[in-house]
Structure 1
């Protein structure tokens, strides 16, 4: 390796020598933000004169904080993190690549993770059972029965693929396990006879990989296909971003939680605009901000739109590593390395150069919720009573929902009234908050005070509690708060993402019927990070994010349209009104509970056998072959057709002619709209396919759990029940009009018809296309439906990358134009002209209407880096990597 800056040196820690690359060898690097120092070290260590040059490194010494991003670098993260919804298709692709490698005459064992790859099974458990002591065991049993094929496949991957580890189901939520156990913070790695030490960095197949930034590890979500390429040794092409410094001062007031803080930060950063940027938190408040609060803030990077939200490494980091049972030698390495590199944060640390700056006094934060359908739509708790009626009226007008009034129902033998604003789901779930002892213990204390007053959850509320990790269960048990939570229905339903990703399970039948019969706008309240339409539950139209203790309080009230400061939540057994203040713990009570119950012993016990799994996991039999024997009758795992007929040579990319629009969509189309993860309807294309394969609807499981079967996922693409295709006005769901016949049909059926006719398909959309989770199937699905290009006003970062990674052309309207201003209806025939074999920066799009009239407009080509040009020419990143390895 060139080592142009003579940065390589030796660091000795407790008698052990480590090879490190010193940042101060690069003149001018001292003023860099922490995140860019991590990128700089990555380049110093990987300088090879080809993918990383001296000029690349020199750029950081002369970094212009105000310049628009233009410098492309090749970045190699230390490891890859996956969850099972996105991880299963990633391993399916690796298995398919092994087959394709063999077909091309290569060695299938070359297809192997070259970086550590860890997968946590956490997305498959559903809340079928709740409110009982056996809910966890029953849900776990159903989970194994439904997902046995997938789990056997993952065990095959663990056996066949070097460097691939699986954390079995019913252990914890992926990001929480990453922070509490998997993260090294500083990575020690034996290499060529020495041990290198370097910054632990991470990319993950889930957008909330950003949570790891709370512990000082630079990490963000990427598409599954990009993660696979990284596992296979390919660097990630990226533009050096702008870095936004967010200064935190002051301290939170009594009664204000970390959740309130993060919802405020989401609100502020969304309004500021941080898409494609790094955010770093600094300032005097950092030194007293607990790790749980940091992780909560970092987790919601996707919600505020940033690539990451990074916190520095400091004494609190070291204390947290010890608390969570990290080896003392590892903690010593973290401290020594960070101090040697000049990145160990102290109160008097000089301020870095930032591209932009914001500031927040924590004392200004007030208790808040966010909703009813976006995490950035913060509502102060004091405004909820006035906010909800206007939000309800707007929704009813937008969706043309009739006002039929409340409905009567009998729930558990009790006559109740359910109406607009009734909370039917209340869930403490998602690593956003379950990783934070302060809000979890606060929830337990609210439950304890409520139970002491004899209060109960409203009978129509479906409750759910997903602890996030076994450590949470242990410290709640130790604090004596598990039983009070159970008394209010918050029994453990499983160690997984559950409600936050739509694995909510069915509502009680009387509640479901009341909602349907009266077209009610029912509500969920959850301590998660996503509340998009149709995500939490198909029957729940309005969703609010809140802190865990507020979730408990609102579950007691059973309604969202109250001011809990002025309105009683309920009455106690004596008929006395009970207000929020009556059951809300003081911060002193919360701090005491943390000090007495959150201990190293609890974390050590929770993670002692993290890779072992329970008896069900251990009894699963998995083949130990180098290539996978695809079971022909499997409805979960199938060999995808991405490499069918692929040769070693690459054909030039031709312009696109005679394409038809599959969907004309509006703004804020999320990856949930494009590739939903939730329930499969029997009358949907995916449901019909499964029924044809002999699967009973009760065993459909979710679309997310079937991501290893492209036949299901193709049919589930654009199948979200809330998707509104403007080509088929008055409809919701995956409906379109085939052209030129004008026949209404499912998007899947239209795509198959276009394919049979030899017609390319395109999608037209508005702003923020592909926002939300880093879902690779939101790109894979359209690719298999024959979509050759998307024309949108703007893209979410990960989704744009995923489109290129699957060989789909992302185009952007220019000059403020959009489909409406151009008068596009989706009925036209489209030609995309001037691609120049993928190198064009702009193309002409010709839209020819049925009457022969033509509109021609310019579109920007969003293939942003030279590497992406190669990926696009090859038909996607996987084909590019496969050809490179086979050659």
Structure 2
């Protein structure tokens, strides 16, 4: 808990009696009530944290004044510290965090310190949700079989996490099979207000997953950070950030009866991407917000990374308190939350315009204008109204290769490829749906769209409609509560009849854990060179993410997922073309079976009740039989197993010293990759299945594993060699050195084409470092620490890009990689950089934030770049070789 003794703002500390308890809190209105009422609510949370943690060391008095003086016209480079109340992790990103803690303990011991000092100081929760795959679907035992396979494949890493749960203090680990991290956070882990020994303060959170933003729907300020940045927060360090612009997004009007919250978020995502909100806060206000449920708001906040903002905040209101009651939270605690937030001007009435604060910019959406839509085929912000889906897909076949194009020759666009599946002949063509997944926290946390899908399934079955058996259908709820209300409302059996059996509780198809397609389907797609489709209720549809064989992937609401599964194609006009025929041979259109919002709400009010949440979450800490059977000896230091291909002591700290040396700069470096715009962390960081012809497969084979034992990259995130092999291994990576996409590059001296990993290792053996050239928005997408750790292991010491996504740039700094930016108007192309030059970048001893540096090439040319260190703290981390190296030196 922050000490009040040396706090210069302790005079603002108030004591009140709430119920039977004496509580204290910092009254922000005593700073300047007039200024406070003009601040966006999200900025008020930053202000409270600064006031509470002010000690004139980590947080200075001037930091508090800077936040209090926030205004729409403020300087865009004001740096502030922020200490979140807690950290949340999922297992893909959480395993390397725990590995780093274990490795840091090892390093501290080697350097003569006390390893037990390495513990989370800030509370941390880790939910194991990313490891389960859709290996089995369309069967009653799919859930059990998938969970069994999950444990089989991941027993070693689960055992490691259980060691972490026992050895590391102040850390809760939620066992596998419990749900998706963001839904568990929303329904169970969120405090809304902390009560620490009688001191009240707002809940806030950073997480190692970009969709941590989902919690903003409940009025908890939170966003995704890199794993290494999260580890620093866990070790008591504040986040250093630039005081953000805050975009006010006003919602008015009322949704039509045919529209879902998914349609709303896809509309907002496209709108805000067009406006440009990268690095900014978005805060929602207006009377339209009051009519949205917390689940609807959470859906909008969940996709914040897809429109590029740091966070998407809905201040706490009466709806928030109603949600806490619905999810079984303690009534006394809810009363305390309400009284505290009202007393500190953090409680919102969306119908009261007098409470509207000032914003940097205001945008508006009339909810009545929202229409049913999807998004795709390759980017989440490419919204397509359902009425235009057929025409849009056909246009994509014609368009040149890009985010909206496949360049399919005109004479091949009508191609059909017959195949036999389970003794019956079917035909695939461009646009055929082969994956239909109700998945992802974005939508499975929202009873309205889940029950909407259930009601649509019921009407479809009653009309005699079916889903073709070769389509891989699946339902992966974000928590056990979903199973309860689907069953109690009587729709489960109809979902099952259409093939939407529950296959697991976790982040499955949306993260790429879609499992294999039937062999016959995969063969038909490849032989026919078809643009096959996935339709999922997720938040990401980047190339190569969902499945290597689905070149087009569309985000859609759960009811629309079922609709496209019934249709069997995305190339359909629902207004004029039927889904099929009923038992009497008459056509059945989508409008005939689509449930209205009122119909859905009536079922939700009856069947989504607190008892469900209480029952599910009362069992969450008890684990399950497989988890409980893991027998882990207690120890301060982890016993590394040299034979392991899952967990390995990483190289990050093994040669570090107590003493600090100046950062070396870059000398005669080769360009490892010459990349264009919108290279995502999906392109950089290992994800999904391990291809049999990949560098990672060769490494695992050398360790005696056979292909069926390879598992996924996500499951092996605790092993640095596997992850280095898989860095830049995405089959859709476009490297300007080569004529076609793939995980390959050129070894410049020999002009030999090889896997990226092999070229990097060859440069290292030759004593060369490497750099990367890139275009705009380098590193957009999920907050993946391996997107920075992997390149570091490959010998990459600098990236020169036109612009960066916020989280990835921060991660590069956290690993000691130099983030450089072309000057405005300049690009690799305008500077005539071929990427075959040798690059030298000297770093001055007096390196400052935003400094302009010279890049020298071996052909005698020079150009200037901007060093993208945005804060002094980032410079400190870089000088130490990374954020964790800095923390180890501090501990010593």
Q: TM-score range by the shorter chain?
A: over 0.9
2:861 match: secondary structure? strand
**Matched-pair contact (CA < 8 Å) for 2:397–2:406:** no
Q: Which of these residues, 145, 150, 157, is aligned with residue 157 of structure 2?
A: 150
State yes or no: 1:360 paired with 2:369. Answer: no
2:711 match: secondary structure? coil
1:376 equivalent in structure 2? 381
Quickly say closer, same or farther: Cα 1:588–1:399, change in 2 above 3 A: closer
**Matched-pair contact (CA < 8 Å) for 1:830–1:845:** no
* Correspondence list, 1:756-775, <5 A: 756-775=765-784
1:878 equivalent in structure 2? 884
Q: Which of these residues, 791, 815, 835, is aligned with residue 806 of structure 1?
A: 815
1:115 equivalent in structure 2? 122
**Matched-pair contact (CA < 8 Å) for 2:855–2:865:** no
1:867 equivalent in structure 2? 873
Deviation at 1:622, TM superposition (A): 1.4
1:166 equivalent in structure 2? 173
1:714 equivalent in structure 2? 724
Aligned-residue Cα RMSD (Å) equals 1.3
State yes or no: 1:139 paired with 2:142. Answer: no
**Matched-pair contact (CA < 8 Å) for 2:399–2:407:** no
* Correspondence list, 1:661-810, <5 A: 661-730=671-740, 732-810=741-819
Deviation at 1:844, TM superposition (A): 3.9
Quickly say closer, same or farther: Cα 1:513–1:10, change in 2 above 3 A: same
Aligned pair count reads: 878
Deviation at 1:401, TM superposition (A): 5.6
Deviation at 1:441, TM superposition (A): 0.2
Deviation at 1:459, TM superposition (A): 2.9
Post-superposition CA distance 1:216-268 (Å, at most 9, x none): 00000000000001001111111110000000001101100000000000011
2:603 equivalent in structure 1? 593
Alpha-carbon distance between aligned partners in 2 of 1:44 and 1:833, rounded to the nearest angstrom: 40
Moved more, 399-408 or 813-822: 399-408
Q: Which of these residues, 548, 552, 566, is aligned with residue 558 of structure 2?
A: 548
Post-superposition CA distance 1:464-506 (Å, at most 9, x none): 1101100000000100011000000000010011000100000
Give unpaired runs (5+ residues) of structure 1. Answer: none
**Matched-pair contact (CA < 8 Å) for 1:648–1:883:** yes
1:477 match: secondary structure? helix
Quickly say closer, same or farther: Cα 1:112–1:528, change in 2 above 3 A: same
State yes or no: 1:11 paired with 2:16. Answer: yes
* Correspondence list, 1:776-855, <5 A: 776-836=785-845, 838-839=847-848, 841-846=850-855, 848=857, 853-855=859-861
1:789 match: secondary structure? strand
Alpha-carbon distance between aligned partners in 1 of 2:419 and 2:565, rounded to the nearest angstrom: 18
Moved more, 286-295 or 57-66: 57-66
2:395 match: secondary structure? helix
Deviation at 1:387, TM superposition (A): 0.6
State yes or no: 1:129 paired with 2:140. Answer: no
Alpha-carbon distance between aligned partners in 1 of 2:177 and 2:317, rounded to the nearest angstrom: 32
Alpha-carbon distance between aligned partners in 2 of 1:61 and 1:771, rounded to the nearest angstrom: 31
Post-superposition CA distance 1:259-297 (Å, at most 9, x none): 000000001100011100000000011222111100000
Deviation at 1:789, TM superposition (A): 0.2
2:3 equivalent in structure 1? none
**Matched-pair contact (CA < 8 Å) for 1:122–1:495:** yes
1:448 match: secondary structure? helix
State yes or no: 1:525 paired with 2:530. Answer: no
Deviation at 1:683, TM superposition (A): 1.7
* Correspondence list, 1:171-182, <5 A: 171-182=178-189
Alpha-carbon distance between aligned partners in 2 of 1:609 and 1:807, rounded to the nearest angstrom: 42
Deviation at 1:555, TM superposition (A): 0.3
Alpha-carbon distance between aligned partners in 2 of 1:819 and 1:399, rounded to the nearest angstrom: 26
Quickly say closer, same or farther: Cα 1:395–1:485, change in 2 above 3 A: farther
Alpha-carbon distance between aligned partners in 2 of 1:113 and 1:841, rounded to the nearest angstrom: 32
1:464 equivalent in structure 2? 474
Q: Which of these residues, 507, 510, 515, is aligned with residue 505 of structure 1?
A: 515
Deviation at 1:181, TM superposition (A): 0.2
Deviation at 1:412, TM superposition (A): 2.2
Normalising by structure 2, we get a TM-score of 0.97
Deviation at 1:634, TM superposition (A): 0.7
2:283 equivalent in structure 1? 280
2:355 match: secondary structure? coil
Deviation at 1:834, TM superposition (A): 4.2
**Matched-pair contact (CA < 8 Å) for 1:842–1:858:** no
2:315 equivalent in structure 1? 312
Normalising by structure 1, we get a TM-score of 0.98
Give unpaired runs (5+ residues) of structure 2. Answer: 1-5
2:192 equivalent in structure 1? 185
